[in-house]
Chain A
Amino acid sequence: MNRFSRQIILPGFGGEAQMKLQAAKVLIIGAGGLGCPNILYLAAAGIGHICIVDGDNVSESNLNRQVIFGEAEIGINKAQAAAHYLKSKYSDIKIQYVPEFLTPDNVATFISPYDIVVDGTDNFTTRYLVNDACVLLGKPLVFAAIYQNEGQVAVFNATSGAVNYRDLYPEPPKENEIPNCSETGVLGVLPGIIGTMQAAETIKLITGYGKPLVDKMLYYNLLSHQTYEMALSKNPDAHRHIPKDLEELATRNYAALCDAEEAVSWKDALKGLEINPKNVLIDVREPHEMPRLTKWKHMNLPLSTSSIITPEIENAESIYLFCQTGIRSLRMARDLKKELSGKNIYSVIGGIESPDAPLN
């Protein structure tokens, strides 16, 4: 008996499938609501080499769904905490972690050594970045995403010529971006179910056991338990949106999802703040979102609270808004523009996750 005996005796699985799991190298991007079940079940199943990438730290509001973490991990990097937990459980698999956010210039380096990529991220910026990198590197991508009480699961790019995320949605949503869990709420069991389905797809893809969702997408509704599966098709419009090579990918600004006139770089925003002390910097994230900005004077105006125009905002000539990735702040910049005419209102590209954010 060994720790895999119950799956090895499963008809049609067997020792050969187990050896394939042992030989597999899987990169799990995001150790959040989707990432946690992937991490737990892929390690339990005996994937020989797992690497977890996440630049975020655990916060208290993560705990309803990110079940690897508890109160003791609040403030600790998620990838590090998850890897530490796995190492305490299993000595027979290789576990690595990268406590960083993926960016256009590091994504290829992180993905290249692995056979399969699991996308457990929580924003379109990273999802498109990961998709494009997987297409250019020829890596199968096991995809999942959630919205309120629904989830999507798919396997992209499993073979050459296979469908990828851009075949379904050639370009990221521009305005009125689909809100994420921080804004709309989520029951922890939903990413638990969807992330577990995603882990199952990874195991099926590696071993050839059953029929993975290759070039298919499954929708799941938690409230009705209904599923809806459809076949995906190549989209003639998709290919031109993917960078032609890794070099072009590395220089593309994924965070600026659209050519927004309101978008500015951190460099320009900080310059604007230095030039005119009346100008204001505003964090529009919810209070629990990390990391907080401590090096620069700023105000907090979470999107969930109704906007309050303070005298400081009234007096400013330019207002710079930032959020986690630059998406919500762009939406708020557009809303504020309607309320405050005659002011320059900007959204900082890439938000606090931008490598240019003044965190140090």
Chain B
Amino acid sequence: MEKVKHQIKVLAFGMVAERMQTATLELEGIPNTDVLKGYLYQQFPQLEDIRFSISVNRQVVTGNHAIPADAEIALLPPFSGG
């Protein structure tokens, strides 16, 4: 039987989406936020000098955090304008 893939959905906001040139990604086999960051910096080196927080299933997480299958991840940059 074929193994069920560990799929996740990534949503990007603000300047993160701008630099990735997309607001959504569908990824496979990403077990935690450190691996996710490594993947993003490799695919989108323009992200390296900007800051963003990460939420997993709509909960902001800190440090390295597990990403369950079918999770919805959001990449959340700060905004300063007013």
Contact = CB atoms under 8 A, between A and B. Distances in A.
Interface string B41-68: 0000000011101010011111100000
Interface residues of B, number: 24
Interface centre among B18, B53, B80 (most CB of A within 10 A): B80
B9 to A, nearest CB: 12
Interface centre among A120, A217, A228 (most CB of B within 10 A): A228
22 contacts: A121-B82, A122-B82, A144-B82, A145-B82, A146-B81, A147-B79, A150-B14, A150-B79, A168-B60, A168-B76, A171-B51, A176-B50, A178-B50, A219-B13, A219-B74, A228-B13, A229-B58, A230-B60, A231-B58, A231-B59, A231-B60, A236-B63
A178 B78 contact: yes
Nearest to B53: A168
A147 B49 contact: no
A193 interface: no
A236 B62 contact: yes
Contact of B80 (A123, A191, A221, A236): A123
Contact of B82 (A34, A177, A229): A34
A70 interface: no
Contacts of B53: 168-169
Given A173-B50, A228-B11, A228-B74, A147 B81 contact: yes
Given A147-B14, A150-B13, A219-B13, A178 B58 contact: no
A219 B63 CA distance: 22
B81 A180 contact: yes
A175 interface: yes
A176 B79 CA distance: 13
A190 to B, nearest CB: 9
A148 interface: yes
Interface of B: 11, 13-15, 18, 49-51, 53, 55, 58-63, 74, 76-82
Interface centre among A152, A168, A177, A230 (most CB of B within 10 A): A230
Nearest to A231: B59
A233 B62 CA distance: 8
Interface residues of A, number: 45
A106 to B, nearest CB: 19
Q: Which 9 A-B pairs have the closest CB atoms?
A: A145-B79, A122-B82, A147-B79, A34-B82, A146-B81, A230-B58, A230-B55, A235-B62, A181-B81
Contacts of A151: 79
Contacts of A49: none
B52 to A, nearest CB: 9
Nearest to A30: B82
B82 A148 contact: no
B82 A173 contact: no
Contacts of B55: 230
